[in-house]
Amino acid sequence: MALRKSRPDEPSAPLGGGSATALAEPPPVGESADECSAVGQALVQGGRLAADALATALADANGDLLKFGAALLNRHGVGRNDLSSAVAAVCQVPVADVSMVALDEEIVTRFPEDVARTHKVMPIAEQDGMIVLYAADPSPWRRQLVESATGQRFAWKASDEKTVTSFIEQMYRSTADVDHIVAAFAAEDDQRQAAETIAEVDLGDQAPVVQLVGKIVGQALRDRSSDIHIEPLDDRLRIRFRVDGHLIEAFSLPLSAHNALISRLKIMSEMNIVEKRAPQDGQFSTKVDGKEIDVRVSSVATVFGEKIVMRILDKSKSMVSLGQLGMPAETYKTYSKLVHAPFGMVICAGPTGAGKTTTLYATLLEINSTGKNVTTVEDPVEYVFPGINQVQTNAKAGLTFATGLKALLRQDPDTILVGEIRDVDTARIAIQSALTGHFVLSSLHGTDAVAALHRLLDMGIEAFLVASAIVGVVSQRLLRKTCDNCKVQYTPGAEELAVFRQHSGGSDKTVFYQGTGCSYCSNTGYRDRIGVYELLRITPEVRRLIVGWATTEELRRLAVAQGMRTMLREAMQMVEDDITTIPEVVRTLFAH
């Protein structure tokens, strides 16, 4: 989006006579604390918030209504509409209607971005000569700060922090001045400039190529991206973000930007900038919008030049507990029992990007205690746990999964996490560890829980060892959740209904919902993802089939007969509960 330039003959300059950050002083404690308390009491009385949760949220917010609202949304499960209504009532302003918003670029470009980001406000439209502002905190104190910073009065409406932030990221995108940045270094000797002048990992550096990297990484983080793909094509440089499992094109740059951008990223990641043919891996840490993030970088040569993929790891995100993963109550209860076993092996199966690492880390949080020696061997260590011994593999030093696992067995371990079983040596040592009195957790690439067992057999592990060592296999996928802001009733097609009826266990559901696409979900109809799981317990009957080299179908039939709910069945339950849609389930899971 290009910013509108003011003409010399225009009577008024863009809004903003002051600094948002300069005016972002602490709120008047008494008054703001009263507002936080009043909002909380309204939610408690309406049955939307527990009284003990209110006390915790008030303590965390320290009298700041913005922090209080964010705590209620993110940690205490309060709905966005419920919060907006309570804030509107306390602050005596109308409630914002976010369902029919059409953002006006002309108005947005006249409103200072720093004010919008600092105070979580968003200009929506012009009404009766005044700009309508959606605000997560429309308290008198906040209104005075914003109006002082901009030199103008506004019509205020109460929204929620998540919605306002989503609008901000949609309108104040980093694409605004990328063309200018690219032009600044397109005429230079890109490789020489990158190699000679860039040394520090500082996204605040003013060199054009450094600004470009900062724009790309910053926008990816704001768009909730998990990966950034930098792909040279025959006529342009394409940059895509993976958001909720889908790749979305974010930037299209001229090929002249390719060499400098790749060189910059390689230097930041401590990779060899001269080597352009062999694949390389690296990583760097930086800070975006005050958040500490780690970025894993991988390069590979393609026919049009080197492609780089960056995985973003946000350190500020708190670890998810096992109870927050979205497992059904019965699955959670059974899995929790399995992972508290004194010995044996539990495998988490699924393809790349299915959330296996999140599940394994949540399991570690569940079983970690001061009386246990919990040790991991990972490649890479994605999040650092207090109280857990984490080992990073290092192929150059000869520290692989197999050698690291051997070393850990001499470290008096109780619980061992093997980041991934990639070869027969690692698999054999892990299984032998489980058989000799240790509890072992690991991830394995496989399509489902039963297929994971056959993957081990295919590696060459003897069937009787697999049957003896493994106590359970959990398989998973991630499904996109229907956007609750634009969810509407619809009639599925005949094929969709047939799939639902076949795999829903005889459901008589007749009313279905889908997202139509709105500003909150970037017009996708979906926002955020939830895990769908199947848990295979290794019972004596299943062990006998494994030793007899039963087929996957025979194993699956027995597991279902003994109570295992397949991922497809669990996913259809989410359709029944209006969490996701039939097309999303078919796209992610359907293979029968």
Question: Per residue in 313-359, pLDDT tens?
Answer: 876 666 778 888 888 989 999 999 999 989 999 999 998 888 898 89
Q: How far apart are CA 539 and CA 123, in angstroms?
A: 60
pLDDT at 156: 93
Q: Round to whole Å and give the CA distance between 357 and 545.
A: 29
Q: Which of 402, 430, 432, 400 is nearest to 417 (CA)?
A: 430
Q: What is the mean pLDDT of residues 14-31?
A: 50
Cβ proximity of 444 and 421 under 8 Å: yes
Digit-coded pLDDT (tens) for 105-157: 788 888 888 888 889 999 988 888 888 999 999 998 899 999 988 888 899 99
Give me the residues paired with residue 238 across strands. Answer: 231, 252
Distance CA 238, CA 313 (A): 22
Tell me, what's the pLDDT at 473? Answer: 96
> How many residues make up the chain in this entry?
592
Which residues, 6 or more positions from 17, have their beta carbon under 8 angstroms from its beta carbon?
149, 150, 151
Strands (E), 303-394: 305-314, 344-349, 374-378, 389-392
Q: What is the mean pLDDT of the chain?
A: 84
Map tokens 């724009």 to a residue: 215
* Domain 174-314 part of CATH 3.30.1360.120: no
pLDDT in tens, 434-443: 998 999 999 9
pLDDT band at 472 (very low <50, low <70, confident <90, very high): very high
Which CATH number is 322-480+528-567's, of 3.30.70.20, 3.40.50.720, 3.40.960.10, 3.40.50.300?
3.40.50.300
CB 75 within 8 A of CB 49: no
The domain spans of the chain are: 20-161, 174-314, 322-480+528-567
Q: Residue 361 phi/psi, 5° resolution? A: -65, -40
Q: Report which of 549, 393, 541 is spatially closest to residue 464, judged by C-alpha positions.
A: 549
pLDDT at site 197:
43
d(CA 398, CA 69): 50
Torsion sign, CA atoms 538, 542, 547, 552: negative
3-state helix, strand and coil shares in percent for the chain, rounded to the nearest 5: 45, 20, 35
Long-range (24+ apart) CB contacts under 8 A made by 491-495 are: 492/582
Q: Are 75 and 90 in contact (CB under 8 A)?
A: no
The predicted structure's pLDDT at residue 180: 65
Band (46; pLDDT cuts 50, 70, 90): confident
Architecture of domain 20-161: 2-Layer Sandwich (3.30)
Start-to-end CA distance of the chain, whole Å, equals 44
Is residue 466 within 8 Å of residue 458, measured between CB atoms? no
Q: What is the pTM of this model?
A: 0.74
Which H or E element spans position 427? helix 424-435
Indicate the Cα dihedral angle 330, 336, 339, 343, nearest 10°.
-90
- Taking the C-alpha atoms of residue 236 and residue 304, their distance in angstroms, rounded to an integer, is 10
Q: Is 201 exposed, middle or buried (0-12, 13-18, 19+ CB in 10 A)?
A: middle
Q: What is the pLDDT of residues 355-409, one digit of tens each?
A: 898 899 889 888 887 788 999 998 878 777 878 899 988 888 889 888 989 899 8
Strand, helix or coil for residue 525: coil
pLDDT of residue 372: 87
β-pair partners for 280: 299
Q: Are strands 154-158 and 130-135 parallel, antiparallel or unpaired?
A: parallel
C-alpha distances out from residue 20 to 24, 145, 152, Å? 6, 8, 14
Q: Do domains 20-161 and 322-480+528-567 have the same CATH topology?
A: no
E strand or H helix at 196: helix 190-197
The residues near 583 (Cβ < 8 Å, ≥ 6 apart) are 496, 514
Task: State the pLDDT confidence band at 62, using cuts at 50, 70 and 90.
Answer: confident
- Tell me the Cα Rg of the chain: 27
pLDDT at residue 25 is higher than 70 = no
Do residues 212 and 297 touch, judged by C-beta distance below 8 A? no
Phi, psi at 229, each rounded to 5°:
-110, 120
